[in-house]
Amino acid sequence: MIEEFAVITKRLDDHVMLEIERRTACGLCGQKRGCGNATWGRLLGHESHEFAADNAIGANVGDSVVVGIDENVVLSSAFYLYVVPLLTMLVGAVLADTLLDNEFYVILAAALGLLLGFAWVKGHLVGYGNHKKLYAKKYRAVVLRHADETVSCKSADRHDAGNSNL
């Protein structure tokens, strides 16, 4: 399970809308010095986006929570996003090359195949028609626990240091 910290922005019937809390390893992003990520963030405008997650613990708006998603879901989504559009692009290009004698139409068919592949992937991952809830629920993250229930590194270090003296 891949886990990340998030804040609940909206609560709906069976799910919540979340916004990821940005955390850095060094903690220098808010300062004017450091590795340069803060500069890139200001230039590119790190925008936060909301996403849906199942509310298994009954958390409320404003709660800081840990959200998780299964690794297999991430891997299958990456497969769909990369392999399927490339295959549809290749199929479009090969079909146009065998049926038509113009290179412009081959390029056009490859671009059309790529766009159709992306459209199919979006429809499959988000879900359309009767299967909308089935697909959306399969690929949705789950709120695992409140963030204050998570052991921090500092408290775990103090706990381990206390046990080493025994």
Instruction: Tell me the pLDDT tens digit for each residue of 57-103.
Output: 888 888 888 888 888 888 888 888 899 999 999 999 999 999 998 99
| Integer Cα distance of 60 and 18 in angstroms | 11
Instruction: Report yes or no: 56 and 144 within 8 Å, Cβ to Cβ.
Output: yes
* Strand pairing class (141-146; 50-54): parallel
Give DSSP secondary structure letters for 15-76: EEEEEEPP--SSS-TTSSSSSSHHHHHHHHT----EEEEE-SS---TT-EEEEEE-HHHHHH
Longest dimension (CA), the chain: 81
Evaluate if pTM is beyond 0.75: no
| pLDDT confidence of residue 158 | 46
| pLDDT at residue 159 is higher than 50 | no
Average the pLDDT over 44-50 and give the result. Answer: 66
| pLDDT at residue 130 is higher than 90 | no
Instruction: Report yes or no: 105 and 115 within 8 Å, Cβ to Cβ.
Output: no
